Each structure stands twice: as structure tokens, then as C-alpha cells.
Structure 1
Amino acid sequence: MGGLRGGGLGNLRPERTQGRQLRAGAVSAEAKKSKPSLKKIWPQALAIMAPRKGLLLGGLALMVVNRVAGLVMPYTTKPLLDKAFNPAGDPTLLPKFIALVFGAMLLQAITSYALIQLLSIAGQRLIAEMRRNVQKHVGLLSVAYYDANRTGNLVSRIMTDVEGVRNLVGTGLVEFLGGLLTAILAFIFLLHKSVTVTLTVFAALGVFIFILQYAFKTIRPIFRERGKINAEVTGRLTESLGGVRVIKGYHAEAREHEVFGAGVERLLQNVMKSLTLTSVMSSASTTMMGIVSGVVMWLGGHAVIHGQWTTGDYFQYNMFLVFMVAPMIQITSIGTQLTEAFAGLDRTNEIMSELEENQSPERTEKMPPIEGRVRFENVEFSYDPEKPVLHGISFTAEPGTVTALVGSSGSGKSTIISLLCAFHSPGSGKVLVDGYDLSKVDLNTFRSQLGVVLQDSFLFDGSIRENIMFSHPGATEEQFLAACRTARVDEFAERFPEGYETIVGERGVKLSGGQRQRLSIARALLAEPRILILDEATSSLDSESEAMIQSGLARLMEGRTTFVIAHRLSTIRRANQILVVEQGRIVEHGDHDELYALGGRYYDLYTRQHGLEANLFLAPGEGDTVEA
């Protein structure tokens, strides 16, 4: 798809009003979506964990060793108190118990280190893999999806939403299961020690578990909403930083600060809600601990007094009780992390479920190298069903010819080009290239033969060479230099100290408008497309630069089917056909001389732009531009 990328088709947008409607519709649709249940997300979580089941099983094995070793210390409490510390006992047991406990703690330290190294690295690899997958999928979505979603939102989906899933493969899930295992083992031992005391304690814990269930159910939508708010705030910040010249030009720094501040406040309120619930859970944990401690002191104390327990039994029970309750409190924290992971997975799945534009079952036809015969057959199109944009558009562009689209702003010119680029499919009618219906072709085989030069040339923050070679990474040095000479890039690039390795800055900010435009033309030249679209291709050039580059454009257009929008007069006059578009209809069709002689809409546009109404003695061709 070198030709497509080289031209930067992502900058083409539908008419502004339609774009707003599209975004509004998407927001409305999103608002109406029901939140997916945990049952729906869990299979997706399993799908992520399945390829790593060996790693998880290894982690669980280490966790079992870690937790069992951790129970050595509470287990030795009874013999330590009853035998080693008892005046009638054996004091030689003390160093043996110390060695046993130290060995268990050392084993715990080793397994903890191994767990973090094994699972944390796996979690980070999962994040990197998911970011790559989401970015790849987003890159394959339709232009309509980009029109409906802000850049910052998409950045958040790719970079932020996937971070929580590390807890599914990293230490989060394993620690959750490890805590559960410790609690179960401790509970079994406590039952063995005293069924009455343990069931009484467990009844109090049951209330705590009920509170946890309610809290998790409440907190999950909050985390999901936080992701959306964060995406909106990030999106606005991205736009503000990208449009800093406009903001400063209109002295709107304070207004932007207010807008960003309002977004940050919404994010703060969301965080405060989650903190409130977390504090409730923490308070419940503390209260539960107090109740349990009181119950154990009362029942256990009576057991010691009545000779049913020794002092060692009492302390051993309390130690095991701590090892049962502490993991449950830890589970609260880890459960919050897992809830956040599911919320992120929820949003990631939302975007991954979007259909890629080339995945339509109808797109099965592979397009061979094309000649470039373009035909629109009675094409109707609308972004909003109630507001049609194009009405019965029909025309033919033969291979190697130039077709110019002129008309007032919002007349439908850009929509026609979008249909030609297969960004959208007609509501009715057909767009054919060499007889192939564009709604049925494999887009990769078509767009690789398409190139665009836009008025607002998009450049990456790389070198001049990287930006030109972007359309054809495999081009030779000779091809690269030839494109630079034809587009007159060599005239300014070779004057820089670093030549073609000069960094152009974000969106080419270090170059002038004319220099950016020349890079865009060189990029399109290198792509060698069969169909070429020029949108104000020389608008950023001064008269002298334009005159020099016209020969390059002429060479670029040679043998290619070319479509031009609102370009300079010299190109208009050479066009084989001019389509005058108004309110979604082709109202006039012919070459320059025919349409000028007709005295219709084209004549009005021409004379208004060039001031011929006030200077009727000027001959056609002495002006500069034709209205877009």
C-alpha cells in the first residue's frame, strides 16, 4: 500500500457537517451499548491465558511452594511454646526450630524472586503483544471509524487500556490464587483445631465476603468509565498540543486550560469514587479483623482456661487465623487490580470487535495492475440516511486523462474522492475501476496503485529521506534522487548541513509550506501510482516555485488517470474534463473552453475568482486559481 501511504490519504475527510454527524452518531451508539458481562469477558481472558498455561502452571507451582513454606512459622508456634519454652521441655529444640523457620523463609524469598522474574516479564510481554495487535487492528479500520473517534481516544485504547491485562498473566492472578490457597489451607487446619471457633469466625468472614462481592460489582463500571474519561482528556490534550499555533494565535490559552481542567476534574471525581469504595472495603476489613480477634480471644481464652487448649494451641490458632485472614485482605487489593484488568479488556475487546474495512465477505476480487479507467454509475451516498450527500453521480475518466472537480465548499467533491479511494461504499450505484466494482475488491490490491498529494501535506517527525521513502521503502538511491529532482526537493534539501537526513519535525514544522508540499509530491512520484489525486497540490507554493514544479507535476500525471480538486488554473486548463459539482450533483461537464463558453456555474466561479466581472477585457487564462 505504498502509494496510499505515500500520499497520506488519512487527511481526506468527508464534508465537515457530515463528519460532525458521524461522530455524534457514534457517541450516541456507544452510549446505548450495554456493558458486557463478566461471563462474556471471561472466555476472552482465557484465550489470552491459554497460550501461556505452561508459564502460569509453573508460576502456580512456585506459589504453592511459597505459600506452604510460609505456613511453617505459624505451625512451629505450638511446639516452640509448649516444648522449647516450657521449663519442663527440651531447650535443644530451639535452634532446630530457628533453622527450620529460617530455611522456610529462605525458600519463600527464592520462590518470590522467581515468581516476579517469571510472571512480571511475561505480563510486560503480553502488554507489548496486545499493543501491537490493537495498533495493527486500528490501522486496518475504515476511515469512517477514524472520523467518529478522536485520536487521543485511540491512543488511550492502544497504550493504556491493555496495561491492566498484565494481572491476568503476571503476578496478579497467581497471587490471587496463592492467597486463596493459603486461606483454604489455613481454614482446613483451623477446622481441625476447633470446628466451633472456626465456623463462628467464618460466619463473620461471610459478611465480609458479601461486602466484597457488592464492592467489586460497583467498582467495575467506575474503572470502565475512568478509561473513557482518560481517553477524552488525552484526546483533548493531544489536539491542544498539536494546535498550539491556533490557540496562541487566538489568545485562547485560558480557555484551553478551562476545558482541560474540566476534564481533569471529571477524572478526579471518578478516582474519588473508586477511592471511596476502596476505603469502604478497607474499613470493612479492619472491622472484620476486630470482630474476629474478639471472637477468638473469647472462645480461645475459655478453651485455655478450661484446659482444652494449651498456650501453644492458642497462639498457633491465632497465627493460622492471621494467615487465613491476611490473604483475604490481600485478595481485596488484587481483586481491584483484576477488576481494572477486566475493564481494560472490556474496552480493548470493544475496539477489536470492529470489522476491518477489508474483512467484508464481498471483498474477494484481487485487482491486477490497472490501466486506470474510472467509472461512476448513478452513485448515491449519504453519511446520515436522512441527509443524502451525492445524487446520481455518473461520469467516466479514461486512462491517462485528467479530471478536475470544482464547486463550492461542501458540494461533495471530497466525498466523490473518498468513494474513489474506497473509504466508503455507495448507498446505490457503482464505482468501477477497469470494470472492477470497488465495493468488492481486495483493498490492498487496489490502494497500492493509488497516490495522493494533498494541500495539507502530512509529514512524520523523521528525516527528509524517510518521509519520501515512506511510499516505496525498497526504492533505489537513483529512484529516490530522481523523485527529489523532479519535485525540486534537491534545491533546498542539499543546502541543509545534514542534507536529506535533516529532521523535519512533527508534521514537518521545520519546513515551509512550499517545502512540505514538494516532499509530498516527491513521495507520490516515488510511489508510481496508476491513479493520482491532487488536492490543492500547489497551493502552498509561490508563483516562482509553482512554475518550476509544474513540469514535475506534468511528469507525475503522465500516463496516469488523474483527479484534481481546486488546483491552479494551469492544471484546470489542461484537464480533459471538468466536473462542476453543486449540492451533490454534477451540474456541468466539459473542458475549460466548453464550460467557459456555456456561461453557467463554471463561468460564475471562474469570473468571481479572477475578477473578470470588473475587468472584462482580461482574457481567460490570466488569473491564478479556481474556486474549490
Structure 2
Amino acid sequence: MGVAFTVLEGLLSSCIYFSLYLLIEMLLNHNVSSSRLTQLTLGLAGIFLIRLITYSIGYTQGQIGGAAVSKQIRLYLGDKFKKIPLFRFTQGQVGQYVNTMTSDVNSYEQILTHKTGNLVKNITLSIMLMGFVCWLYLPAGLILLTVSLLFIPNMWLSFRIVKKYGQAKNTICAEAVSSIVEYVSGIQTFRAYNMSGAKNKATTNAMKDFSNVCYKYEAMGIPVGFAFSIIDWLTVPVVMLVAAKAWMSGGLAGVDYLMICMMPMLLAKLFTSISIDLFSYKNLRISRNNIQKVVDGPEEQGMDKPFAPDSHDITFQNVRFSYVQGETVLNGVDFRAKVHKLTAIVGASGSGKSTILNLIAKYYEPQGGRILIGGRPVENVTAQRVLEQISIVDQDVFLFDDTVRENIRHARPEATNEEIESACRKANCDVFIRKMEKGYDTPIGENGNLLSGGERQRLSIARAILKNSPILLLDEATASLDIENELAVKQAIVNLLDDEKTVIMIAHTLSIIKNADQILVVSGGRISESGTHKELLAKDGKYVAMWSAEQKLSI
């Protein structure tokens, strides 16, 4: 509707030139009278009023329609993101997704709200104008028509430039967004090591690349449009000379000659607008294609049906996995984490401990072997359904820019305030929460930056307690904490383990897991040893070496 009314308003605007034609004709033929001028003026006023109404409706409907489509696209993309395999968000594609959700959707809205209507309107007016000139004097109309045909190779060259540099610009823009996000997230580290500002080479280079491609984009596109603009404006003297012969010989009326001389100027301006809009339209189509790529992108495979196994033991059968092809992380891992038991995983840094937890949570899919929960393979189940059975406490805690209460409530949206506070008491965070200015309703800042590391970790444990899933994954939850916070977090973990769950825990200190029901030692991409603390000490293997090293450090 917005496009239709915009075109109608454009067609009505051409009435000004017809009115001008009538006025000049009256002046040249000495037929000017008050009544005729009044009629012409009232006619123009009426047309202007209709144009005003038509433009208002067209503009409003265009904006509303474009905003509605943008809203639907963003909501759809939000749902789509929940179905995209989680590993894609850790492979450098975050910037592309952010760019698509924000810049690309906004650009696509520009197609709908501005470019489409203007293009249809200006093209229609140009056709009408050339038809009008052909009606007045055919040779002049044919000249304009010939020049308009040159518009085709002009746009062909422009589109090739857009295809080459526009896509590169979009790709580099996504990389720049990723670099900026990384820069802002790590600003404290950059400043601490005097790496901020120009010394942050990754961000600086990304912005320089973006600047360069934008310059090349404009530098290549402007000359093409400028060359056609020169040819287009040359039609003004050419048409004046061609039509002058007919006018001087009496074959063309004076008013017709004046209108023919004016029309090429108007046509040149219309073609300039069309050229700019088409150039932008082609560029914005890249944004549309980027949105389409996300829409058509792969989704998690598997049945999106409730996953409720009878038991919650976890079994790895000859599981193999690599983040990068040819660089094996896990190579034939076999173990079983029994239900209602604590299984601890230890090993050197980079041995694959966290990878095992990531595979259980279906952040990644194994390249070989099988993973079973309760005897049921999970490869045909979506990650969302598997994660419904799992609570996770990571060493890198993510918190929302919201209140304490709402951050905990994310674990179970229907939870009552009493249940939230009970979970916080078990997680050893009720005391420090109540000391805060607004208690449980205190905002904690972006990613909880108003809290200490130990406080953030305890809130994460409170979320896991509130979710109360049958499977619990703990990834070095006490790492990088001071003694006081480590003791508080350890007590919170003990409270978390009181409920009977299938628990798999990664620990950087062996003393915290020496009472585990099973300890797995990961080395060389395999489970090199397994057993209880006493059994592993008796084997006098890798675990003994790790235990001895820790005891020396504690002396």
C-alpha cells in the first residue's frame, strides 16, 4: 500500500508541469484572464491537497509496513539463533550474526520503506516524461529514449561494483564488529598491558580494512555514475538544437519548444535519483541475502520432542572429536558416569576435559562414537531437549544485566521468590545479597560486573540449584578464586551435591574430588586411568604424579 500511494503521489506531481504548460500557452496566446488563472490555481491547490493526503498515507503505511517486516524478521532470527548449532557461535561467526540482526535487517527495511517506492515512482515518471516529449516532438523524444538506454550498461557496471566491493564491505564489517566486541570485552586487559588504542592491532587493522573497502567502493562507483550523468545532461543542449529547427520553421509551437527544452533537465535529475537508488538497492540486496543465509543456514539435527530417559547415567562409547580437522582432541574415549554418583575428570590443561562436558551438553557433536544418556543415544535429540536435563556451572559465569532475582529466575521462569531465595541460601549467597542496597532487586550490571568473582560464581550455583536438573556438570567452578570465596563456593557445591544427581565435575585441585565415586584421568585424548582415589594411588600412574605434585605445592 505504501508503494502504491507513493507512486500515485509521484504521478500527481507531474500535474505541475502540465499546469506550467497551460500557463505558458495562455501567456503566448494572450489568453490570460482572472477566471482562467483562478481555475488553474485552484486546480493546483486541489492536486497539492490530494498529493499531501496521498503522500501521508503512502509514507505512513510504508514506514509501518517496513517496521512490521523488520520486527518479524528479528523475531524470526531470534528463534533461528536458538536452532543454530552452538559450535557456530564459537567459530568466529558472532560478528556476522550481530551484523545480520542489526545492520542488515535495518538496511533491508530501507529497501521496503524508501528505495522500492522511490524507484517505482521515478521510473514511472521518467517513462511518462519521455512519452510526453515524444508526443510534443518525436525526434527529441527519441534522443531522450536513446540516452535512457545507456542507463542499462551504466547500472550493469554499478551492479558489478556492488557485487565485488559491497559483499567485501559487508564481510569486513562483520569482522570489524567481532573485533570491536572483543576489544570492549577485554578493555581491562588491553589497558593493563598497554595494548589499548592504536596498539590493539586486530581492532585497528579491522577498522582500517573497513575504511579502505568503503573508499574503494565509493571510488569505483562514483566515476561510473558521473560519466552517465555527463551524457545525460548533454541531452539538454542537443534537444534544444534539434527542436530549435522545427520551432524556427514553424513546425513546433513556442510553448511546446519551451517544454521540450525543460524536460531533459527534469529527466536528468530523475535518472540521477534512479541511479543512486538502484545502486543503494543492489547494495541493500546484499543485506537481504545475508539475512537469507542465516534463515537457510543449518539447524540442529534431531527430534525436537521431550527427552525424558528412565535413567540419567552417561556413557561414552569410543567417542572421537576434533575442533580443527587433523588436530584430534578426543580419540576413543570410553567411560560411564553412574546415576546419583560423582564422576570427577582430571588431567593436564588442554587434555580434553572441558571438551567432554561440551559434548555431553551438545555444544558440539562428536565425529565418531556414541554418547548415551540413560541408555538412549543423544545424536538424534536436539541440544535444547538434552540441556533440559542438565544444569551447568562453568568457570566463566555469564550473568544478565538485570537484578539478582531475575538472574536466578532464568533457570526456572515459573519459580517463586521463596524458591529463589531458598536456592541462594544453599548456594551461600543469601547473606551478601541481603547486604546489597536493594537486596534481591539490586541490578548487578552487564555480565554481573558489579559483583566479585566469587559472588558471580555463587549466583551461578544458585541457578543450578533452582533448575534442579537430574544431571549436573561442573567445570572448574572454584578456579581463580581467593581463599575466602573458594571456601564459600566449595560449601555451595557440597550443598548442590546433597541432592542425588548424576554429577560430572572437572577440578583443578585433586583434594576437592578425592571422595568422588569415580575419577577419570584424561591424557592423550583418552581415559588413561579410572577408579577411586585409593585405587588410583595404588596404580602408581599419572594420577599419583599429579597428586604428589599438588601435595608438594600445599606444603
| TM-score, length of structure 1 as denominator length | 0.83
Matched, 1:204 2:147: yes
Matched, 1:379 2:379: no
Corresponding residue for 1:396? 336
Whether the 8 Å CA contact 2:312–2:502 is kept in 1: the answer is yes
Corresponding residue for 1:345? 288
Corresponding residue for 1:507? 447
What amino acid is aligned across from residue 164 of structure 2 in structure 1?
A: P
Corresponding residue for 1:424? 364
Distance in 2 separating the partners of 1:478 and 1:355: 41
Distance in 2 separating the partners of 1:255 and 1:323: 49
What amino acid is aligned across from residue 99 of structure 2 in structure 1?
A: S
1:281 deviates by: 4.2
Report the more deviating stretch, 405-414 or 217-226.
Answer: 217-226
Distance in 2 separating the partners of 1:543 and 1:77: 88
Corresponding residue for 1:190? 133
1:272 deviates by: 1.7
Corresponding residue for 1:290? 233
Q: Residues 122 and 522 of structure 1: is their aligned pair in 2 closer, same or farther, counting only changes over 3 Å? A: same
1:487-521 deviations in Å (ceiling 9; x for gaps): 11111111112111222222222111111111111
Report the more deviating stretch, 559-568 or 104-113.
Answer: 104-113
What amino acid is aligned across from residue 258 of structure 2 in structure 1?
A: F
Where does the alignment leave 5 or more consecutive residues of structure 1 unmatched? 1-57, 613-622
Correspondent of 1:99 among 38, 42, 45? 42
What amino acid is aligned across from residue 308 of structure 1 in structure 2?
A: G
1:271 deviates by: 1.8
Correspondent of 1:243 among 183, 186, 190? 186
Correspondent of 1:133 among 66, 72, 76? 76
Equivalent residues, number: 554
Distance in 2 separating the partners of 1:427 and 1:279: 50
Distance in 1 separating the partners of 2:485 and 2:32: 102
What amino acid is aligned across from residue 461 of structure 2 in structure 1?
A: I
Distance in 2 separating the partners of 1:173 and 1:319: 27
Whether the 8 Å CA contact 1:517–1:541 is kept in 2: the answer is no
Matched, 1:117 2:60: yes
1:592 deviates by: 0.3
Correspondent of 2:85 among 119, 125, 142? 142
Distance in 1 separating the partners of 2:220 and 2:271: 17
Corresponding residue for 2:496? 556
1:344-381 deviations in Å (ceiling 9; x for gaps): 11222222222122xx2x43664225531111112222
Matched, 1:234 2:174: no
Corresponding residue for 1:586? 527
Distance in 2 separating the partners of 1:88 and 1:146: 76
Distance in 1 separating the partners of 2:70 and 2:337: 48
Distance in 1 separating the partners of 2:504 and 2:61: 57
Corresponding residue for 1:446? 386
Matches within 5 A, 1:324-339: 324-339=267-282
Distance in 1 separating the partners of 2:94 and 2:220: 32
Matched, 1:493 2:433: yes
1:415-453 deviations in Å (ceiling 9; x for gaps): 211221122232222111111101012433321110111
1:40-59 deviations in Å (ceiling 9; x for gaps): xxxxxxxxxxxxxxxxxx23
What amino acid is aligned across from residue 79 of structure 2 in structure 1?
A: K
Corresponding residue for 1:54? none
What amino acid is aligned across from residue 513 of structure 2 in structure 1?
A: I
Whether the 8 Å CA contact 1:453–1:524 is kept in 2: the answer is yes
Corresponding residue for 2:405? 465
**Any idea what SS the aligned residue of 1:161 has?**
helix
**Any idea what SS the aligned residue of 1:510 has?**
coil
Distance in 1 separating the partners of 2:304 and 2:93: 31
Whether the 8 Å CA contact 2:235–2:264 is kept in 1: the answer is no
1:132 deviates by: 2.5
Distance in 1 separating the partners of 2:394 and 2:196: 30
| TM-score, length of structure 2 as denominator length | 0.94
What amino acid is aligned across from residue 29 of structure 2 in structure 1?
A: N
Q: Residues 372 and 539 of structure 1: is their aligned pair in 2 closer, same or farther, counting only changes over 3 Å? A: same
Report the more deviating stretch, 132-141 or 333-342.
Answer: 132-141
**Any idea what SS the aligned residue of 2:320 has?**
strand
Q: CA RMSD in A?
A: 2.2
Where does the alignment leave 5 or more consecutive residues of structure 2 unmatched? none
Correspondent of 2:217 among 267, 270, 274? 274
Q: Residues 185 and 143 of structure 1: is their aligned pair in 2 closer, same or farther, counting only changes over 3 Å? A: same
Q: Residues 485 and 370 of structure 1: is their aligned pair in 2 closer, same or farther, counting only changes over 3 Å? A: farther
Structure with more relative contact order (C-alpha pairs < 8 Å, separation 6 or more): 1
Distance in 2 separating the partners of 1:480 and 1:370: 28
Distance in 1 separating the partners of 2:514 and 2:21: 101
Report the more deviating stretch, 319-328 or 65-74.
Answer: 319-328
1:547 deviates by: 4.2
Distance in 1 separating the partners of 2:72 and 2:91: 26
1:282 deviates by: 4.2
Distance in 1 separating the partners of 2:538 and 2:152: 85
Distance in 1 separating the partners of 2:55 and 2:487: 72
Corresponding residue for 1:21? none
Whether the 8 Å CA contact 2:391–2:472 is kept in 1: the answer is yes
Distance in 2 separating the partners of 1:410 and 1:543: 25
Q: Residues 364 and 509 of structure 1: is their aligned pair in 2 closer, same or farther, counting only changes over 3 Å? A: closer
1:546 deviates by: 4.3
Matched, 1:162 2:102: no
Whether the 8 Å CA contact 1:410–1:583 is kept in 2: the answer is no
Whether the 8 Å CA contact 2:2–2:59 is kept in 1: the answer is no
Distance in 1 separating the partners of 2:203 and 2:304: 46
